């Protein structure tokens, strides 16, 4: 079957991903999918360009090497020129893409509601490998030390070799995992709908500690000041000691449910400020000891996680708002809503608004500098913390496991259980031929099938039914 997951369009027909040359990355598809360049503007909040996809954009944009990578509910991942939205390629999956892409050494890692984590060549849009879990992936992956970490709605956290796509380990929680992992100092921090925040050893997957909140943890934690910060559906933000897992403080907000992922950045104070939104307000909290510094009301009931660029905080729902990081004063707002957590790069804010990706002038002269972006949790830019990794993709099949054999007294080889493996009788050889137990490739097939927890897919399999959530 033809594999058409990645395509570029210009003046010609769609090009199959299996046969497309890498030079097709330069062919744009702006005219096909819909892009509206804006006139040159210089005012804060003005639109530089907008790009229409075929579905709602919940995925937070990632900006690397002057290209924007973003997912859409139309089932595609897009690569766009950051200066003019000219389309380089789009990669199709079998479900909405609400996971935020992460880019390392020319490879785009992103999850889909078709249950797969994909590794995609950032230049050509070709699939390098895919890894299938038991549930939808809305969690955004993070790659640290050549390992990709991601959560799944099957309730598990996965560690996957970023070069080969093979599973390293898996850890099962008591609920679905929508939030993204954060990896700091060899530990993976991630929350679950079972109300628990988990600290797992990044190398082995072993549990280091757990912390229980009073509600589901639906969003991503963040790390700063030797503390892990996490939002819970009990309307509290918790600060937990990174080493012991003990609570340092908690702060109750106005409304139950709907809390965004928190992020931490410098404010105009001697200590850092934690920024988070509930269903009606954006909050600035004292990151060291808790307590409110300010809160600002906005319109809407489904907020996005804030980002901080210099002294500006960008957040919102029905409107996109820019706030003063020191006091929460509203600096400017747009009439367009915001559906994905924004990411700032080079004085520009990139965000999703319904089915459209927007590039807005930020007026800050900088890029996102908060912990959410610098740790690569929900969208990032070139300056994120683990940007300097080197990957060498290797999708060769795993070697079959070989049984150890020893020589028996009668000269025949035996396996570790003492069964003879050589000089079989003619009857035994005939029986083996009939049952197919020694058929070519049997050992390899068994080894691949035995990989625990999920399926390793060298090249994407087609025809399987999926439940798009």
Question: What is each CA distance from 85 to 61, 109, 307, in whole angstroms?
Answer: 12, 21, 22
The model's pLDDT over 346-363, given as tens digits with 9 standing for 90+, comes to 999 999 999 999 999 999
What is the reported pLDDT for 43? Answer: 86
Cβ atoms of 328 and 298 within 8 Å: the answer is no
Cβ atoms of 307 and 290 within 8 Å: the answer is no
The model's pLDDT over 437-451, given as tens digits with 9 standing for 90+, comes to 333 332 333 233 333
What is the reported pLDDT for 168? Answer: 98
Cβ atoms of 66 and 89 within 8 Å: the answer is no
- Residue 61 is classified by DSSP as P
User: Can you identify the CATH homologous superfamily of domain 35-60+150-395+452-457?
Assistant: YVTN repeat-like/Quinoprotein amine dehydrogenase (2.130.10.10)
Q: How far apart are the C-alpha atoms of 332 and 324, rounded to whole Å?
A: 10
Q: How far apart are the C-alpha atoms of 165 and 314, rounded to whole Å?
A: 35
Mean pLDDT of all residues in 334-352: 96
Mean pLDDT of all residues in 9-33: 36
Cβ atoms of 62 and 42 within 8 Å: the answer is no
What is the reported pLDDT for 100? Answer: 98
Question: What is each CA distance from 449 to 50, 439, 443, 453, in whole angstroms?
Answer: 45, 16, 10, 10
Give bridge partners of residue 456 from the DSSP assignment.
131
What is the reported pLDDT for 438? Answer: 31
Nearest of 64, 45, 40, 38 to residue 312 by alpha carbon: 45
User: Is residue 41 scored above 60 in pLDDT?
Assistant: no
* Selected residue with higher pLDDT from 37 and 384: 384
Place of tokens 């804006």: 38
The model's pLDDT over 135-193, given as tens digits with 9 standing for 90+, comes to 999 999 999 999 999 999 999 999 999 999 999 999 999 999 999 999 999 999 999 99
Give bridge partners of residue 244 from the DSSP assignment.
none
Instruction: Provide the percentage of residues in the chain whose pLDDT is more than 70.
Output: 75
E strands along 93-186, which residues?
Answer: 102-104, 107-111, 116-121, 127-132, 142-144, 147-151, 156-161, 167-172, 182-184
pLDDT band at 301 (very low <50, low <70, confident <90, very high): confident
Q: Which helix (H) or strand (E) holds 30?
A: helix 30-33
The model's pLDDT over 183-240, given as tens digits with 9 standing for 90+, comes to 999 999 999 999 999 999 999 999 999 999 999 999 999 999 999 999 999 999 999 9
User: Is residue 293 scored above 80 in pLDDT?
Assistant: yes
Give bridge partners of residue 199 from the DSSP assignment.
189, 209
Concatenate the DSSP letters of all residues of 388-440 into one string: T-------PPPPPPPPPEEE-TTS-EEETTS-B-SS--HHHHHHHHHHTTT-T
Query: What residues contact residue 275 under an 8 Å CB cut-off, 6+ apart?
Result: 262, 263, 264, 265, 282, 283, 284, 285, 306, 308, 313, 315, 325, 370
* Selected residue with higher pLDDT from 425 and 21: 425
């Amino acid at each position: 079957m033809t594999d058409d997951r990645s395509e570029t369009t210009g003046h010609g027909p769609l090009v199959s991903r299996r046969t497309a040359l890498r030079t097709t990355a330069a062919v744009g598809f702006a005219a096909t999918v819909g892009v509206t360049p804006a006139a040159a503007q210089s005012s804060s909040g003005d639109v530089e360009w907008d790009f229409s996809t075929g579905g709602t954009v919940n995925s937070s944009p990632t900006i690397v090497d002057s290209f924007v990578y973003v997912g859409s509910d139309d089932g595609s991942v897009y690569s766009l020129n950051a200066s003019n939205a000219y389309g380089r390629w789009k990669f199709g999956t079998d479900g909405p893409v609400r996971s935020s892409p992460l880019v390392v050494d020319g490879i785009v890692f992103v999850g889909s509601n078709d249950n797969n984590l994909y590794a995609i060549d950032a230049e050509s849009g070709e699939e390098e490998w895919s890894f299938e879990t038991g549930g939808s992936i809305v969690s955004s992956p993070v790659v640290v030390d050549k390992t990709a970490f991601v959560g799944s709605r099957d309730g598990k956290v996965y560690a996957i070799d970023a070069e080969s796509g093979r599973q390293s380990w898996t850890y099962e929680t008591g609920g679905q995992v929508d939030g993204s992992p954060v990896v700091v100092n060899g530990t993976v921090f991630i929350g679950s709908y079972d109300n628990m925040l988990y600290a797992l050893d990044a190398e082995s997957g072993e549990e280091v500690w757990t912390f229980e909140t009073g509600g589901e943890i639906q969003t991503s934690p963040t790390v700063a000041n030797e503390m892990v910060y996490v939002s819970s559906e009990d309307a509290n933000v918790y600060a937990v000691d990174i080493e012991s897992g003990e609570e340092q403080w908690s702060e109750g907000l106005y409304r139950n449910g709907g809390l965004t992922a928190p992020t931490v950045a410098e404010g105009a104070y001697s200590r850092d400020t934690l920024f988070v939104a509930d269903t009606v307000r954006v909050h600035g909290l004292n990151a060291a000891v808790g307590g409110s510094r300010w809160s600002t009301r906005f319109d809407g009931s489904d907020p996005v996680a804030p980002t901080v660029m210099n002294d500006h905080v960008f957040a919102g729902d029905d409107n996109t708002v820019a706030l003063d990081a020191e006091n929460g004063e509203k600096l400017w707002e747009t009439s367009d809503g915001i559906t994905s957590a924004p990411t700032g790069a080079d004085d520009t804010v990139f965000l999703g608004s319904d089915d459209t990706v927007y590039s807005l002038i930020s007026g800050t002269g900088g890029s996102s500098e908060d912990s959410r972006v610098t740790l690569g949790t929900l969208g990032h830019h070139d300056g994120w913390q683990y940007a300097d990794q080197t990957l060498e993709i290797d999708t060769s099949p795993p070697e079959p496991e070989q049984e150890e054999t020893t020589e028996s007294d009668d000269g025949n080889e035996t396996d570790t259980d003492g069964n003879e493996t050589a000089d079989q009788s003619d009857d035994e050889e005939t029986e083996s031929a009939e049952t197919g137990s020694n058929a070519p490739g049997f050992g390899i097939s068994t080894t691949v099938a035995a990989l625990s927890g999920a399926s390793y897919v060298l090249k994407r399999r087609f025809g399987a039914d999926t439940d798009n959530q």
